[in-house]
Structure formats: C-alpha cells, structure tokens
C-alpha cells in the first residue's frame, strides 16, 4: 500500500469527501482517512438545503441522490410553546435524507474520482516535519501504520481528540450545549406534515422534526444543560409537556415509544471562533467552525469549505503561490464566506433558547413576518435565498 501522498484529508464527512473529490478531479494525489465504516449514523437534523443541492449538481451526483429517495421538503414552520407558529414556503429545493446514505454517497464519489480512502482508519497522531506531516493511523484492529503527506486538511468534525493533541485555541472552552438525534418510525406519529421541516421550541431546548424517507422521521434537538435537564429520551416526553404542538405529533400512548430508540448525541458543542489554519493544517467543515443547527446550513457550509480549499490548492499550483500565501488566502476567503453567517445563526440560537428573548422575538417575527426572511437570508450564502409566503398563525 502506498504510504506517501501530496494531500491528506482527515475525515470522510461532507467537508472531507467534497474537498477530496474536487482535489482528485483537479489532478492532485489525495488520500483520505475515515475512522468509521460507512454507512454510519451521525448526529444531524438531516435537512439538506439549497446549498447542498447546488453542490450535488456541481458534482454530478444529483440523479444518484434522487435514486436514494430523499424526502422533498417544501416549507418551514417554527412553533413557540405558546401555541403560535410561523410558516414559510421555500422558494428553493430542499430535502431530508439520513446521513448514513448521504455521507456514503459523497465518500463513494470521492473514491470513484481516484481518492485513496483508508477506512476504517483513525488518525491518532500528527507529527509536523520540516516539509511534510507524518500521520499515525489506527485501524479497527488497533494496528498502527504511518502515512506521510505534504499538505494536510483536517475535516474531522466538531470534536475530536485531535483538537487536544494539536492544542487548538478553544480546547478549554465549555458550552453545556448538548445535541441528540432519534429516528422515529412514521407509523408511530399521528399528525405530521411530511413536506415540512418543523422546529419546536421551549425553554432551553429546540427540536427539529424532518422526514428523511417514507418511514423514518428525524427528531434532533439541542438543549442547554446549564439548567437541569432530563436524559435524552425523557427530554422528548418533557418537551411534549412544554409544547402542545409537539405533543400533537404523537399518538398519546407512547410512554415506551422512546425506550429502545438508538440515541446519537454529543455534549458540550462549542460554537465559538476557532483558528482555521493551525500549524500549517487547513481546517474545513465543522472542524473550522460549527454553525448553530437551526440554520440547517452546516452540511452546505462543510461542502462549500471543501470546494474552497480545493479551488485554492488549484490556484496555488497555477500561480505558483507559496504555502504561506495559500494560508492567508484561505483564512481571508473563509471569513468572508462564513464568519457572519455563523455569528447570526449563533445569536438566533441564543434568542431561541432563552424564554424571555424567545417570546419577545417570536412576537416581533409574528407581527413582522419579513423579519424571518431577513434572518434566514443572513445565515445563508448567495446561491438562492428566497422564502416566500411567510405567515403567522
């Protein structure tokens, strides 16, 4: 097996797979390490926005994506626990699909483009030599191997022991924001609009509900554990008590419904600023910065940042740029594309989690519906931003 590559990528999620596919199609010698065997589940609301669809089309994957039978999402509805809701139709194409299928689609595409994919292969150590990086990789039999790459891209998601190993700038930060995903069988739900992404809010929690195929509905919530909160399965019951519209989704006799559901969760998610180049390593996707999930835009940003770094490597080669020039160009472009979107989404999330600001904000948006359109636009990029027919009920 080859053990020397020009570019190495750690992580085979949307960011890593997109970067890898573009880099390979530009003719770079690329390898990618993914610690899990695919298909695998992943914490996520599993809503795929217009930006994702744009990249699927650019990568010539849209037809294959449609063959996976994603659920088409046509509108958005936000419920306050007071019983009020705000509704808007999308002016753009959006879908729901489980991450196990979606991520597999992207990684298979990267392989077809010629990327050498090591899987399951966890990068456990990075040694920075003068002109290269030596990676220590562990497979699922705990056998270690060494791979050398000239350039390194980190696309390993929002949290990894590698953050500590690399002594990244935010490792001491604590957020107490936890997130959890469940898949619930469609037949176990009563009232549910299949073509709508819905967000249910209550104190210190919001929960996205989104059908991902004919049988499966994703429930994904983010909670602030600064206040005492019940364990994840109980939280679904607690939210029914707090939000009547949420309760209406269920049949009523579902005390045991959640008992055996697999839980996909992560604690202490840090939404603050991270360095996007450290020790000469380029960070993309969530590893570079996590956007608040209610914007439904994380996968789009992951793919866009993957394309960005690939385009810049191509520019470096064409214009003979130095590595330092590539680094500063990447930082500049990344900030221009994503910084404000992330800050806005984080502020909206903060408002939604707190009772007083949520109720006041809800009243405002309920009365001035164009405010919702404006807020959503500011968390998205420029491909197509529209929401239409915003109504409050």
Ligand X SMILES: Cc1cc2nc3c(=O)[nH]c(=O)nc-3n(C[C@H](O)[C@H](O)[C@H](O)COP(=O)(O)OP(=O)(O)OC[C@H]3O[C@@H](n4cnc5c(N)ncnc54)[C@H](O)[C@@H]3O)c2cc1C
Helix or strand or coil: residue 368?
coil
> Of 21, 18, 23, which is closest to residue 313 (Cα–Cα)?
23
Separation CA 88–CA 253 (nearest Å): 31
Residue of 123, 126, 202, 236 that binds ligand X (CB under 6 A):
123
Give the residue with the Cβ less far from ligand X, 269 or 390: 269
Q: Of 8, 13, 70, 232, which lies in the binding site for ligand X, with binding defined by CB under 6 A?
A: 13
- Stretch binding ligand X (CB under 6 A), from 9-17, 68-76, 348-356, 365-373: 9-17
33: contact with ligand X by CB under 6 A: yes
Nearer to ligand X, 325 or 386 (CB): 386
| 16 near ligand X (CB under 6 A) | yes
In whole angstroms, give the CA distance from residue 238 to residue 226: 17
- How many CA atoms are closer than 13 Å to the CA of 289, on its beta-carbon side? 24
Letter string b/e over residues 261-287, b meaning 16 or more CB atoms within 10 A of that residue's CB: beebeeeebbbeebebbeeebbbbbbb
Whose Cβ is closer to ligand X: residue 17's or residue 366's? 17
Closest of 262, 253, 249, 100 to residue 182, by C-alpha? 262
Task: Pick the closest to residue 310 from 18, 10, 14, 13 (CA basis).
Answer: 18
Which of 50, 59, 179, 310 touches ligand X by CB under 6 A?
Answer: 179
- Give whichever of 156 and 366 is closer to ligand X, judged by the CB atom: 156
- Candidate list 8, 12, 70, 289; residue touching ligand X; CB under 6 A: 12
Please identify, using beta-carbon distances, which residue of 177 and 372 lies nearer to ligand X: 177
Ranges within 42-61 binding ligand X (CB under 6 A) = 42-47, 49
The 270-299 site mask, x for binding ligand X (CB under 6 A), equals ---------------xxx-----x--xxxx
* Interface residue with ligand X, options 126, 153, 302, 345 (CB under 6 A): 302
- 160 in contact with ligand X (CB under 6 A): yes
Give CA 231 to chain center in angstroms.
Answer: 23
Nearest to 366 by CA among 390, 347, 342: 390
Give the separation between CA 65 and CA 57, rounded to whole angstroms.
10
List residues binding ligand X (CB under 6 A).
10-16, 33-36, 42-47, 49, 122-123, 155-157, 160, 162, 179, 220, 222, 269, 285-287, 293, 296-300, 302
């Amino acid at each position: 097996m080859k053990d020397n590559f020009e570019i190495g990528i750690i992580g085979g999620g949307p960011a890593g797979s997109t970067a890898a596919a573009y880099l390979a199609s530009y003719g770079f010698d690329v390898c990618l390490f993914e610690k899990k065997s695919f298909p695998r589940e992943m914490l996520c609301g599993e809503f795929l926005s217009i930006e994702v669809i744009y990249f699927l089309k650019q990568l010539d994957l849209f037809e294959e994506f449609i063959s996976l039978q994603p659920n088409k999402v046509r509108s958005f509805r936000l419920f306050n626990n007071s019983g009020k809701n705000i509704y808007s139709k999308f002016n753009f194409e959006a879908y729901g699909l489980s991450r196990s299928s979606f991520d597999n689609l992207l990684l298979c595409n990267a392989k077809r483009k010629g990327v050498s994919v090591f899987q399951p292969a966890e990068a456990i150590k990075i040694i920075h030599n003068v002109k290269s990086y030596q990676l220590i990789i562990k497979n699922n039999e705990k056998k270690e191997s060494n791979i050398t790459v000239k350039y390194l891209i980190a696309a390993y998601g929002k949290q990894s022991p590698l953050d500590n190993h690399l002594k990244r700038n935010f490792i001491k930060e604590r957020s107490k924001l936890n997130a959890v995903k469940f898949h619930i069988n469609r037949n176990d739900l009563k009232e549910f609009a299949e073509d709508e992404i819905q967000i249910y809010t209550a104190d210190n929690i919001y929960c996205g509900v989104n059908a991902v195929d004919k049988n499966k509905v994703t429930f994904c919530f983010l909670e602030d554990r600064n206040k005492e909160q019940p364990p994840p399965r109980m939280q679904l019951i607690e939210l029914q008590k707090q939000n009547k519209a949420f309760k209406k989704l269920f049949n009523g006799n579902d005390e045991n419904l959640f008992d055996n559901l697999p839980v996909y969760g992560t604690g202490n998610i840090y939404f603050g600023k991270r360095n996007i180049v450290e020790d000469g390593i380029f960070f993309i996707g969530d590893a570079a910065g996590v956007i608040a999930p209610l914007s439904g835009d994380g996968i789009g940003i992951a793919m866009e940042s993957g394309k960005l770094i690939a385009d810049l490597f191509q520019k470096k080669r064409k214009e003979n740029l130095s590595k330092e020039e590539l680094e500063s160009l990447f930082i500049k472009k990344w900030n221009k594309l994503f910084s404000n979107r992330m800050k806005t989404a984080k502020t909206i999330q903060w408002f939604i989690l707190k009772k007083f600001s949520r109720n006041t904000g809800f009243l405002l948006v309920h009365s001035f519906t164009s405010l919702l359109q404006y807020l959503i636009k500011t968390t998205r990029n420029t491909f197509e931003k529209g929401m239409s027919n915003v109504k409050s009920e």
